[in-house]
């Protein structure tokens, strides 16, 4: 359908005005470029249409990539820090449980000699430095709770040893005549790389406990343990508070 001559004239005038405006803007931009010592950049900007170039898109993508990597790094760091904090809390809780266990055992230690499965007598208290499969502490404690009314006494033979970086607790169902392999073994603390003991008697500290009297017991035991993730821990345990 043919357009009315007036409409064609109006459309042509509008197109001409649009071209004149673009040409006028370009001429103004070029005059500004002539007045600017760095006019080449202005001319380059004037001679192109509005939009993003490939370089600008690449720069924007690089910036977004850097921001994304930084966000991932921060998230990973936060997660790692949280994991370390939880691990430290777990180790601290395990140390408290071990301390409570050893404290309860030694506080109930009693001056009671025992016999092994061969009938040989054993001292009431044995304490040695680590260096083999033998227990570092062995004694008889009182106050063993008998919830099921089993036919046994409230005395219990207890020992502690270092095995594969673990502090293990051994206990026997009877005080006398029970083979060593019938001991019930439980882990008191993991990650124990070193232990040093000291024994106090009548105000004097010693690294060894070798009393001729089989019923003699120390007044206190100092345990210095090196624990993974915690470091060196020094603890003091009182012996036989109820005796």
Model confidence over 119-139: pLDDT tens digits? 888 999 999 999 888 899 999
Q: Give exposure, 203-213, as e/b (b: 16+ Cβ within 10 Å).
A: eeeeeebebee
Contact of 223 with 195, CB cutoff 8 Å? yes
Which pLDDT does position 101 carry in this prediction? 96
86-118 pLDDT per residue, tens: 777 888 899 999 999 999 999 999 999 998 888
Confidence at 3, pLDDT banded by 50, 70, 90: very low
Q: Is the pTM of this model over 0.85?
A: no
């Amino acid at each position: 359908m043919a357009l009315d001559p007036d409409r064609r004239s109006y459309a042509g005038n509008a197109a001409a005005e649009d071209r004149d405006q673009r040409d006028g803007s370009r001429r103004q931009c070029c005059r500004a470029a002539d007045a600017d010592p760095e006019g080449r950049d202005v001319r380059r900007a004037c001679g192109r249409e509005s939009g993003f170039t490939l370089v600008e898109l690449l720069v924007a993508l690089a910036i977004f990539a850097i921001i994304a990597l930084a966000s991932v790094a921060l998230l990973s760091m936060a997660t790692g820090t949280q994991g370390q904090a939880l691990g430290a809390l777990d180790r601290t809780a395990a140390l408290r449980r071990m301390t409570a266990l050893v404290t309860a055992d030694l506080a109930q230690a009693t001056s009671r000699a025992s016999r092994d499965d061969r009938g040989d007598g054993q001292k009431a208290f044995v304490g040695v430095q680590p260096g083999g499969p033998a227990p570092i502490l062995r004694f008889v404690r009182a106050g063993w709770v008998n919830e099921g009314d089993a036919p046994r006494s409230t005395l219990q033979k207890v020992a502690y040893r270092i095995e594969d970086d673990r502090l293990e607790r051994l206990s026997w169902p009877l005080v006398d005549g029970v083979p060593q392999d019938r001991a019930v073994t439980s882990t008191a603390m993991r990650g124990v790389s070193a232990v040093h003991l000291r024994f106090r008697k009548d105000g004097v500290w010693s690294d060894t406990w070798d009393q001729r009297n089989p019923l003699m017991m120390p007044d206190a035991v100092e345990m210095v343990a090196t624990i993974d993730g915690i470091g060196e821990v020094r603890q003091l345990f009182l012996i036989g508070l109820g005796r």
